[in-house]
Structure 1
Amino acid sequence: MSSSAGVTSTCELQTTVLQDGKMLSVIDTPGLFDFSAEPEFIGKEIVKCINMAKDGIHAVLVVLSVRSRFSREEEAAVQSLRKFFGSKISDYMIVVFTGGDDLEENDETLEDYLGRDCPEPLKDTLEMCGDRYVLFNNKTKDESQKSAQLDILLSLVNEVVDKNDGKPYTDKLFVELKKGAMKLHDQTAEVNSSEGYSEQEISVLKQQFNKSYEEHLKRITEMVESKLKETTQRLEQQLAEEQAARLKAEANAQAAQVKSDDEIRQLREHLERAQRETEELRKQAVSGKCSIL
C-alpha cells in the first residue's frame, strides 16, 4: 500500500505449500537499514529475523518501486546489507520491482524503465545481484498474470539455490542463534522425558532454561547492535566522503567552465580587435595612404 512511512513494523513469518509440495517460508521485514530508525530497534529485528530462519536464508528479496527513482537511501541500504552480512550475501539477492501497474498504464516495460536514464547505482545493484530481477503488478486481478509473475520470482529463487549448491546463507549470527535454540530444545526434551522430576521442578527448570536462552538472545542482540552502529558509521562516513568528493568535482568543473568562458571571451575580443585593425588597414590601402607595421 502507499504510505509515507514503512508499512511493515516488525518481522513476520508466513509459510505456504507450493503446488509441487515444497514448503515456502517468507519473512517480511521492516527496513532493516533505514537510517531514520533507532539501531536498538533494528538490531532486535535483525536478531528476530535470523531467529526465524535458524537454518539459513535461501534468497534475499530487495524490494524497490518503479514509482520513484532509486534514491541515495536505497543505495545506502543495499550497501549496508552487504557490509553487515558480508559481500557473499549478494549471491542470494533478487531485486523485486513493485508498481508494474504504473508502467502498464503508460504502455511501458521494465526494460523501458531501466533503459531510460537508469542511475549508475541501480545498474551496479542489478549487476551485483547477477541481473536477477522481476516486476510485480500489485493491483492486477488477472489470475494468470499473478501466477506468471510469481513463477518468475520462484524460478529466480531456484536459480539462486542452484547457484549456491542448495546451501543457504549463514554466518556467525545464524550459528550462534541455532546453537542456543538447539540447547534449549535438548534441555526441555530431556526434562520432559525424565521421570525423576516433579511437575513443579520441571516448571522451575524450564523457566531457568528459557531465562538462559533469553540472556543468550540479549548477548547476540547487543553484538548485532554494536556491529550495526559500526556499519552505519562507516557507511555514513563513506557517503559523506563521496558527497564531498562530488561537490569538489562539481566545483572544479564549474571553475573550469568559468575559466573556459573567460578564455573564450578574451579570444573573441582579440579576434574582434584584429578584425577592426584589418578593416582599418584595408581602408588606408584603398585611400592610398602608406602604413608601416
Structure 2
Amino acid sequence: MLNVIDTPGLFESSVDTEFIGKEIVKCINMARDGIHAVLVVLSVRNRFSKEEEAAISSLRTLFGSKINDYMIVVFTGGDELEENEQTLEEFLEDYPESLKETLSLCGDRCVLFDNRTKDQRKKMQQVQELLSLVNLVLTKNNGKPYTDEIFNELRRGTMKLHEQTEEVQMLEGYTKQEISELTEQMYKSYEEQLKRITEMVESRLKETTTRLEQQLAEEQVARLKAEEMAYAAQAKSNDEIRKLKENLERAQRETEELRMRAESGKCAIL
C-alpha cells in the first residue's frame, strides 16, 4: 500500500507564506508517523530555475540535512529526450552545479518518466524503477521513516487528543453540557498546538525566503559589477584601438609626406 501526498509548492512568490505553512502542516499531519521517501519532481523541458533551487533549499531548511537520505529526484518529459536522441545522463551534463550537488547529496537517486507514451510496458517499467529506488531508501535507512520535531509534536498531539477523547467517552456522572465543554477544550488545545507548529513552519519558510532573497540580491550586485567592469574594459579597449588607429594614420601621412619630398628633391640618399 502506498500513501502519496502531493505537497504545495515550497517556494512560490505568488503564494502567501502563511498559506504554504498551513498546507505543509496538513501534509505532515497526513504522514505524522513519518515519511519513507521524498520525491522532488523536475522537468527536463525546463532549465533548473532559481525557484526550484529555492524549493529544495526550503525542504532542507524545514526538515534538516537528514532529508537528503530520503530524497529521490523524478524527472518528467522523457519523451522529448528520446525524440532528441539524448539520454538523461547527457542532459544532466549541461545542468547547473546546484542540481548536480543535490543529486550527489541524495546518492544520485533519480528516475526519468515519459509524459505521452501509451506503452503500458514502458510505464510499468518506469514505475518499478521508482519503487526500486524507494526500497533502496528504505534499506539505507533501516526501514525507519523520516521524522523530526514537527512530526513528533503532531504525533504526540494527535495521540493525546485520541486518549482524551476516549477518557471523556468513559466519564460517568457528567452532564452532556459538561462533556461538550471538555471536548471543546480538548479540540481548542489541539488547534493551538497546530497553530504553534504552523508558526514554526512559517518561521522556517520566512528564514529561507529572506536568505534566498539576500543571496539573489548579492548575485545581482555581483552581476551588475561584472557588467560595469566589462563595459569599462570594453570602453578602454575601444579607446586604445582608436588611439592606435589615429597614430597609424598619422604615421602613414608622415611617411607619404617624406616620400613626396624625396621625389621632388635633386639628390637621392640610399
Q: What TM-score, normalized to structure 1?
A: 0.78
Letter matched to residue 148 of structure 1: Q
Partner of 1:5: none
Instruction: Specify the alignment match of 1:54 in structure 2.
Output: 32
CA-atom RMSD in angstroms: 2.9
User: Deviation at 1:184?
Assistant: 0.8
Match in the other structure for 1:249: 226
Greater displacement, 213-222 / 126-135 = 126-135
The amino acid of 1:157's aligned partner reads: V
- Distance across 1 between alignment mates of 2:262 and 2:129: 84
SS in 1 for 2:41: strand
Name the structure 2 match of 1:74.
52
Deviation by residue 1:41-98 (Cα, 9 ceiling, x = unmatched): 0110111111111122222111111222222222222222223332332232221111
CA distance in 2, matches of 1:32, 1:63: 12
| Structure 1 residue 198: Cα displacement | 5.5
Q: Percent identity?
A: 69
Paired residue for 1:123? 100
Give aligned pairs, total: 267
Change (3 A) 1:177 1:195: closer
Opposite residue 31 of structure 2, the aligned amino acid is A
Matched-pair contact (CA < 8 Å) for 2:62–2:201: no
Match of 1:237 in 2: 214
The equivalent residue for 1:107 is: 85
* Cα distance between partner residues in 2 of 1:94 and 1:35: 25
Structure 1: runs of 5+ lacking an equivalent: 1-16, 18-23
- Aligned partner of 1:146 in structure 2 is 123
Q: Does 1:43 align with 2:21?
A: yes
**Residue 12 of structure 1: aligned partner:** none
Deviations 1:92-124 (A, max 9, x none): 222111122222333333233223x32333333
Give the gaps of 5 or more residues in structure 2: none
Contact 1:33 1:81 in 2 (8 A): no
Matched with 1:196 is: 172
- What CA deviation, in whole Å up to 9, does each residue of 1:135-157 have, x standing for no partner? 11123222211111112212222
Residue deviations 1:159-215 (CA, integer Å, cap 9, x gap):
2233333333222211211111111122123334x3635683555433332222112
The one-letter code sitting in structure 2 at the alignment partner of 1:97 is F
Determine which of 136, 153, 176 is the counterpart of 2:153: 176
Q: Indicate the structure whose relative CO is greater, using CA pairs within 8 Å and at least 6 residues apart.
A: 2
TM-score under structure 2 length normalisation:
0.83
Match of 2:63 in 1: 85
Cα 1:38–1:195, aligned 2, differ >3 Å: closer, same or farther? closer
1:28 match: secondary structure: coil
**Structure 1 residue 210 corresponds to structure 2 residue 187:** yes
* CA gap 1:124/1:284 in 2 versus in 1, 3 angstroms: farther
Question: How far off is 1:223 after superposition?
Answer: 2.6
1:272-291 correspondence runs (5 A) = 289-290=268-269
**Greater CA deviation, 177-186 or 122-131?**
122-131
Aligned equivalents of 1:80, 1:211: Cα separation in 2: 30
Selected match of 2:75 from 73, 77, 97: 97
Write the deviation string for residues 240-285 of structure 1: whole angstroms up to 9, x where unpaired. 1112112212322332233334434544655666677678878989
